[in-house]
Structure 1
């Protein structure tokens, strides 16, 4: 083999060496029993580094944390990796699996085996657990929710203000994708004064955007919503931040039409909403001086 051939071979070998970074491994943890006796199972991903780091409590939607095959759904796997890469710890409670359920999307609201009030208690227990972790800066905990988990997040902010519990950690910020705001707006709920980011779809016929827009305006008019950002994305249905194509789900009875609801991603809205979410966490979870 000539000199040039040997050099080309070495170059080919060099350029085919690729470093593969494994996805961070989520740990299974149990949150101490709730007053109901339920042991809340969760996925936990600590941040890297010796110092205390911010954390995000992520609350799943009505479809639960898992695919039909039993693996963690793409949305939650992607979220955990994105937050971890940004330097945050992540805790994802499994409100449904802890109660021997997989999902509740196809069940009418009044017939569901797990309601928002129960999920609020799950979230409060998870926040208390997070605050005790030596890797977590308890002054920098955010809450993120999708759909049913987003509705839970808003109700969590209401219940913490109405019925505070001793020693609860502060919420540094809350971000919600397509929550249901109708009941909150109807009862003129008042929320804990944490920075709030609402990410909504203009065409959402499952949890429509307008009640959330009206609720945010009402909060601000009543002096209870100083730091609220509302983003409504055009041409976007429920689930616009995902990657699945839009489809009609005739199996969901809780939308605005008896024919079902539309669900699916919008690439432009996905990119913009994830960028807005990254900027929000960067702002509200930034390093804070010790008190």
Structure 2
């Protein structure tokens, strides 16, 4: 029997200090090969990057391995741990010490760091986010459109799992025009799908969403791409019910969403060879 392949080894890196003085720590996995390769900036959810045992949570470990196997570099900033936090899921939105605006600044700093790496194809950088990280990704596109910074690398595409779209839809946010993939759960009672569906339609109607794909998976709750059974989390106060929120995987939706994600990256993250 052939030996199993070892998981790729992530490197811990410190990004240059933010204007606030925070040193953003991140996990970095360069792609194999000597040429410039596409890269994905991956933004964790409100639970942070880590499992209870201290290692990367299954979702992020699996994602890193999947992207690396496809030939992409991966950067995962640790927005929470860099500020002494573990997670914020159990804290009401208004009481959180770490907000989406701060995470957008983290993402912009991480993109700048990625663009400075000699092995990264700066024309082929994607952004991926889950839940709070997905909301951050959408707000990143809004801020980059409203307040572009000189020399910022282009974003080749953004993929988001179950973001919170309510505030974006309410203010009719305008986003930087990039290919966008939204992966949503029809039964999500934490970050409901409908505001994202309506927001995507609004973007398209306003001429800012020619390349938006929205997938809503039936029978699926928040975290449908995971492998844990669905459970009621009475400790989370930010859903549509005072009883809590449901979270857990749906095997069919998991398989379909990961396949859709693979197709999306293969379309938008294309390494361009020099003539």
TM-score range, shorter chain: over 0.9
- Residue 68 of structure 1: how far off its partner (Å): 1.6
User: What does the per-residue CA deviation read over 1:118-146, in whole Å, with 9 as the maximum and x for residues that have no partner?
Assistant: 00000000000000001100100000000
What does residue 99 of structure 2 align with? Answer: 115
What does residue 192 of structure 1 align with? Answer: 176
- Residue 200 of structure 1: how far off its partner (Å): 0.1
- Residue 225 of structure 1: how far off its partner (Å): 0.8
Whether 2:193 is the aligned partner of 1:209: answer yes
- SS of the residue corresponding to residue 205 of structure 1 reads coil
Structure 2 distance, partners of 1:194, 1:31, is 25
> Any unmatched runs of 5+ in structure 2?
none
Among candidates 138, 154, 171, match of residue 170 of structure 1: 154
Distance change in 2, residues 1:237/1:138 (3 Å):
same
- SS of the residue corresponding to residue 175 of structure 2 reads coil
User: What does the per-residue CA deviation read over 1:214-256, in whole Å, with 9 as the maximum and x for residues that have no partner?
Assistant: 0000000011111000000000000000000000000000000
Higher relative contact order (CA 8 A, sep 6+): 2
> For residues 91-130 of structure 1, what are the structure 2 equivalents within 5 Å?
91-130=75-114
- Residue 50 of structure 1: how far off its partner (Å): 0.3
- Residue 289 of structure 1: how far off its partner (Å): 6.0
> Any unmatched runs of 5+ in structure 1?
1-16
What does residue 223 of structure 2 align with? Answer: 239
What does residue 260 of structure 1 align with? Answer: 244
- SS of the residue corresponding to residue 141 of structure 1 reads strand
Structure 2 distance, partners of 1:168, 1:191, is 16
- Residue 190 of structure 1: how far off its partner (Å): 0.3
Whether 2:273 is the aligned partner of 1:280: answer no
Structure 2 distance, partners of 1:200, 1:230, is 8
Structure 2 distance, partners of 1:59, 1:193, is 20
TM-score scaled by length of structure 1: 0.93
- Residue 290 of structure 1: how far off its partner (Å): 5.7
Whether 2:163 is the aligned partner of 1:179: answer yes
Among candidates 29, 33, 57, match of residue 49 of structure 1: 33
Q: Which runs of 4+ in 1 moved over 3 A?
A: 288-291
2:121 and 2:271 in contact (8 A); partners too: no
Distance change in 2, residues 1:161/1:289 (3 Å):
farther
Structure 2 distance, partners of 1:120, 1:159, is 8
- Residue 21 of structure 1: how far off its partner (Å): 1.1
Answer with 1 or 2: which has the greater Rg: 1
Structure 1 distance, partners of 2:96, 2:67, is 31
Q: Aligned residue pairs: how many?
A: 275
